[in-house]
């Protein structure tokens, strides 16, 4: 790993064993992009990559040089209006009404390791040898605004982390109206665009299309990263697949409004932009004030989509998630929500917990309804004090009872919301986000608290911290059940209202930071009506997230498959729920529900007392299996084998670091009759190791070299027309199998 600067040619070369990123100071002082891709040899002069020519209808930077136009030049942080007509990375409204900027190179420094970003989640290092950071300083002479471009290259993997810092060195205030975290100009458009989109209960579905001239984008203007689009996109060469070919992923470590965009001009140059959505955004920079953008992380891979994903998994698992639970196996839990909803008593909860303990569950979680006057969606949010009618001994007493059973206790909060029917709202009706003289819309019968205000965050922190200090709470599920509307804060003047969306997210991060610092051994799980804020920003504070409110195993195949393109398996909250499923009313076999949920944090969303004896026996076996294999599942190398977006069969697998163990999940949606023979080619094994295989606990005859399992394949023929030689039968629709391989 190294960051090289050649004074004579003004060229920077950031590189490690897999990756090179090359840029230069252009003749007009701007920063130009020369190359981003596979590692190339170091040399002093790559300036030949700065191509220019005269083109009709083109405005040029220098009057005497009609070949140099920013419109046709690849740049590091594009600015609109001074011969570049593409969407820019930055825009600043000045007091005279101008938005023109001319950021010229002033200098740079190279530092070991990676600096943190104040108030923002970001990747980090534990040893300065893990990464190196380049900070390039640019300045606009007229406004006296300085711009620092931060580039961190990690020692391993094609990883480049970027952010930007603006400092107003002038005497006049300015309005920063666009400040992207990442700008990359690519020399061609021969890519397929991949996005991860959907809606509540069908999050992160894969969508693929060819890049075309014009703009392709995903975004959120909802105040949260959203169920609709995830802040992550991929550009891949058309010939790339899971195992080979050039792929670039772009991920934003942020939980609010975002824009991810690729603009292809009519000369087939591609500009990728990633950052806070500029619509409705502004940030007033007074003299000497600064603004730092969220971090964006690009991963380049020559080993296809799977190679890209495994780099993201390790980075986000080990150098984004933090703290006590980062490297630990996650406890198997039972959540009472789908078992009771709001209809529970303390005795009923203890009854549920006793059965969970009998089955081997390690953590019992009390969901919504334990506080204030909360017996429905209409009341209680904001009053984080136990309802002693339901819980006579409060949270402290209930937690002690659960602990006495030999289990840990967890609790649900929705800290950012308030009902009008609550003591908090009656005392502070001005604490919600609400535009003066406008209707305040409700979502799930609740308002959004104004987390841009310190006193609001302080009040919620005080209530939550009191409970955590007094009761034995080991886990918190942090929910957020509506998007933000009428985004206006009564605490700020008119010229700062464009800051509120971002200040809100900073308030959320601040509350997380305070709670995780004071209670480092509490496991936080993020949630936003399921997957509405499943993003890297929250992984920094909560190492796992509820992936979707849709707990149906068949729907979860697509949700978890799509999620796996960037997020590690240890971050995916996945549970077994009751049938008929409460979201899609589907009846799915118990073993398939578990076989899907294994590939995540694992738990149960049902009343275990209502299961038959045979089902309870299955649950006990499932929990035993997960305890035996969860370290491998949650922290092994993950491979996607067959896509639910393309086929009736979904398959994936995890492999241990030393390649001596692997687990394959195989899932069939609909049964067929007299089907063809089928094989599944595995990945990630050692070609020279010999593996024994069990399927659903039954050992297959013979041993198998890794190379034959990867090149010939694992036999997965469907036995619907009769028994197969190994004795495994399928049960029909929504079937699944788990294969365990040991060297």
Write out the catalytic residue numbers.
Answer: 479, 549
CB-CB contact of 530 with 203 (8 Å): yes
Run of H or E including 164: strand 158-168
Run of H or E including 463: helix 454-470
Question: How crowded is residue 155: how many other Cβ atoms within 10 Å of its Cβ?
Answer: 15
Strands 679-680 and 649-655, sheet pairing? unpaired
Q: Return the structure tokens found at 572.
A: 């995916």
User: HEC string of 28-62?
Assistant: CCCEEEEEEEECCCCCCCCHHHCCCCCCCCCCCCE
Write out the DSSP string of 510-565: HHHHHHHHHSTTSEEEE-BTTBTT-SHHHHTT-SEEE--S---HHHHHHHHHHHTT
Using DSSP's 3-state secondary structure scheme, residue 382 falls into coil
In the chain, count of helices (H) and strands (E)? 12, 40
Using the structure block, give the residue that is written with the tokens 């420094």: 109
Question: How crowded is residue 703: how many other Cβ atoms within 10 Å of its Cβ?
Answer: 11
Q: Return the structure tokens found at 297.
A: 């992380």
Q: Tell me whether residue 420 is exposed, middle or buried, using C-beta atoms within 10 angstroms of its C-beta: 0 to 12, 13 to 18, 19 or more.
A: middle
Distance between CA atoms of residues 632 and 8, nearest Å: 51
CB-CB contact of 660 with 703 (8 Å): no
Distance between CA atoms of residues 330 and 657, nearest Å: 19
Question: Which residues contact residue 116 at a Cβ distance below 8 angstroms, ignoring those fewer than 6 apart?
Answer: 122, 124
Q: Cα 698 to chain center, whole Å? A: 37
- Longest CA–CA span in the chain (Å) reads 87
CB-CB contact of 194 with 234 (8 Å): yes
CA proximity to 456, closest of 494, 482, 492, 481: 492
Q: Return the structure tokens found at 404.
A: 């006495």
Q: Specify the DSSP class assigned to residue 286.
A: -
Question: Which residues contact residue 482 at a Cβ distance below 8 angstroms, ignoring those fewer than 6 apart?
Answer: 417, 443, 444, 446, 448, 529
Question: Which residues contact residue 727 at a Cβ distance below 8 angstroms, ignoring those fewer than 6 apart?
Answer: 698
CA proximity to 3, closest of 20, 18, 24: 20
Using DSSP's 3-state secondary structure scheme, residue 181 falls into strand
Question: How crowded is residue 213: how many other Cβ atoms within 10 Å of its Cβ?
Answer: 12
Q: How far are the Cα atoms of 578, 612, 621, 736 from residue 615, in angstroms, in the given order? A: 11, 5, 10, 17
Q: Return the structure tokens found at 709.
A: 């399992």
């Amino acid at each position: 790993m190294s960051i090289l600067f050649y004074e004579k040619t003004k060229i920077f070369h950031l590189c490690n064993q897999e990756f090179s990123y090359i840029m230069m100071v252009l003749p007009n002082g701007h920063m130009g992009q020369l190359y981003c891709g596979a590692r190339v040899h170091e040399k002093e002069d790559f300036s030949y990559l700065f191509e220019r020519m005269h083109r009709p209808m083109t405005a040029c930077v220098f009057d005497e040089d009609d070949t140099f136009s920013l419109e046709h030049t690849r740049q590091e942080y594009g600015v609109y209006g001074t011969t570049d007509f593409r969407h820019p990375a930055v825009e600043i409204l000045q007091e005279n009404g101008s938005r023109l900027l001319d950021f010229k190179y002033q200098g740079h420094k190279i530092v070991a390791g990676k600096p943190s970003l104040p108030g923002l989640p970001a990747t980090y290092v534990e040893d300065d040898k893990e990464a190196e950071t380049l900070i390039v300083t640019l300045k606009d002479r007229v406004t006296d605004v300085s711009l620092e471009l931060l580039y961190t290259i990690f020692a391993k993997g094609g990883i480049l982390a970027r952010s930007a810092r603006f400092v107003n060195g002038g005497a006049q205030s300015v309005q920063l109206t666009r400040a992207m975290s990442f700008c990359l100009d690519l020399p061609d458009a021969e890519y397929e665009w991949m996005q991860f989109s959907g809606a509540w209960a069908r999050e992160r579905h894969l969508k693929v299309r060819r890049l075309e001239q014009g703009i392709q984008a995903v975004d959120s203007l909802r105040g949260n990263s959203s169920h609709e689009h995830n802040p992550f996109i991929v550009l891949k060469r058309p010939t790339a697949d899971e195992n080979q070919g050039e792929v670039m992923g772009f991920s934003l470590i942020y939980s609010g409004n975002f824009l991810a965009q690729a603009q292809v001009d009519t000369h087939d140059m591609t500009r990728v932009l990633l950052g806070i959505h500029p619509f409705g955004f502004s940030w007033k920079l007074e003299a000497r004030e600064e603004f730092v953008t969220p971090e964006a992380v690009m991963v380049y891979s020559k080993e296809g989509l799977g190679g890209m994903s495994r780099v993201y998994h390790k980075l986000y698992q080990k150098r984004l998630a933090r703290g006590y639970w980062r490297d630990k196996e996650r406890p198997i839990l039972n959540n009472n929500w789908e078992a009771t909803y709001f209809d529970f008593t303390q005795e009923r909860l203890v009854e549920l917990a006793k059965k969970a303990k009998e089955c081997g569950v390690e953590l019992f979680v009390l969901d919504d309804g334990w506080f204030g006057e909360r017996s429905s969606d209409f009341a209680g949010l904001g009053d984080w004090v136990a309802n002693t009618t339901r819980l006579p001994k409060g949270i402290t007493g209930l937690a002690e009872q659960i602990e006495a059973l030999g289990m840990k206790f967890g609790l649900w909060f929705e800290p950012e919301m308030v009902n009008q029917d609550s003591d908090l709202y009656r005392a502070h009706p001005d604490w919600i986000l609400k535009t003066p003289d406008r209707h305040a819309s409700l979502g799930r019968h609740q308002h959004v608290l104004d987390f841009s205000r310190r006193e609001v965050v302080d009040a919620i922190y005080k209530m939550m911290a009191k409970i955590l200090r007094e009761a034995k709470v080991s886990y918190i599920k942090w929910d957020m059940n509506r998007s933000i509307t009428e985004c206006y804060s009564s605490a700020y003047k008119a010229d700062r209202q464009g800051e509120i969306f971002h200040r809100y997210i900073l308030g959320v991060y601040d509350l997380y930071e305070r709670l995780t610092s004071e209670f480092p051994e509490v496991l936080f799980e993020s949630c936003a009506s399921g997957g509405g804020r499943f993003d890297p920003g929250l992984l920094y504070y909560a190492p796992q997230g509820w992936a979707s409110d849709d707990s149906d195993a068949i729907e979860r195949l697509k949700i978890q498959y799509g999620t796996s393109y960037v997020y590690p398996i240890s971050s995916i909250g996945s549970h077994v729920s009751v049938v008929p499923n409460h979201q899609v009313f589907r009846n799915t076999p118990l073993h398939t529900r578990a076989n899907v949920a294994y590939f995540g944090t694992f738990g149960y969303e049902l009343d275990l007392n209502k299961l038959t004896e045979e089902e309870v026996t299955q649950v006990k076996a499932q929990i035993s299996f997960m305890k035996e294999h969860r370290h491998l599942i949650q922290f092994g190398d993950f491979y996607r084998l067959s896509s639910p977006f393309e086929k009736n069969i979904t398959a994936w697998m995890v492999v241990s670091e030393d390649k001596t163990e692997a687990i394959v999940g195989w899932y069939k949606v609909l049964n067929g009759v007299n089907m063809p023979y089928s094989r599944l080619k595995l990945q990630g094994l050692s070609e020279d190791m010999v593996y024994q295989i069990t399927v659903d606990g039954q050992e297959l005859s013979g041993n198998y070299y890794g190379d034959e399992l990867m090149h010939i394949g694992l036999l997965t023929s469907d036995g619907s027309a009769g028994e197969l030689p190994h004795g495994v039968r399928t049960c029909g629709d929504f079937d699944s199998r788990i294969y365990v391989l040991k060297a």
